[in-house]
Amino acid sequence: FVKGLLTAGAKVGSSRHQYLGEDEISTFAREQGYLDFKGNDWTLIICTPSETAFAPAGEIGEKMWTVLSMIGVFVFFIVIIFSRMVSKPIEKLSAAAIEIGKGNLDVTIDVASKDEIGWLARVFKAMATDLKRDITERKKAEEALKKERDTAQRYLDVAGVMLTVLDVNGAVTLINRRGCEILGYREDEIVGKD
């Protein structure tokens, strides 16, 4: 193999071939000299079984797969831990949103992290508190308005003449009993009409 390549003028070469039934790698390099040294025209030839030549590469490959497998397992667990750290607070916020949607404004949100999810939980909790306060104030205002309306209705009902109260659009908001008698309608048939 080498003689044929040297005769053809090759200075460096290698080949994988069979020799005595064994897979072998042969490599050669002809001395070329350097600067003003012409060289002695020597040729270095190395013949080694392929199994011996590639054994270190195989060992490195096995070690690399072992290391990469360990890194893969480590990364897998890190991803699981991180996803749970993110998903659990989001699940709590979701459950709280469902409860608030059902009208339970006393729901507690126990997310204590200092990241964006914790900030979102604090804002969500403040929103629920504000909503509860607004609903409570609205109920109080509605109760006070109903009480004033009932009081006004009692005063209107004792009057012997027809009395009505209109809103800015001209719709009847209150009418006394005498007015219903005069018009011949029930109160619910008159209130809200133009």
Contact at 8 Å (CB) between 77 and 84? no
Task: Report mean pLDDT in 10-residue bins for the chain, 194 residues.
Answer: 79 85 88 79 86 87 93 94 82 84 80 80 84 90 89 77 88 87 90 88
**What is the per-residue pLDDT for 112?**
75
Token readout for 35 is 């600067």
**What is the per-residue pLDDT for 31?**
84
**What is the per-residue pLDDT for 114?**
80
**What is the per-residue pLDDT for 77?**
93
In angstroms, rounded to a whole number, what is the distance separating the alpha carbons of residues 75 and 68?
10
* Pairing relationship of beta strands 12-19 and 43-49 according to DSSP bridges: unpaired
**What is the per-residue pLDDT for 143?**
93
Q: What is the pTM of this model?
A: 0.43
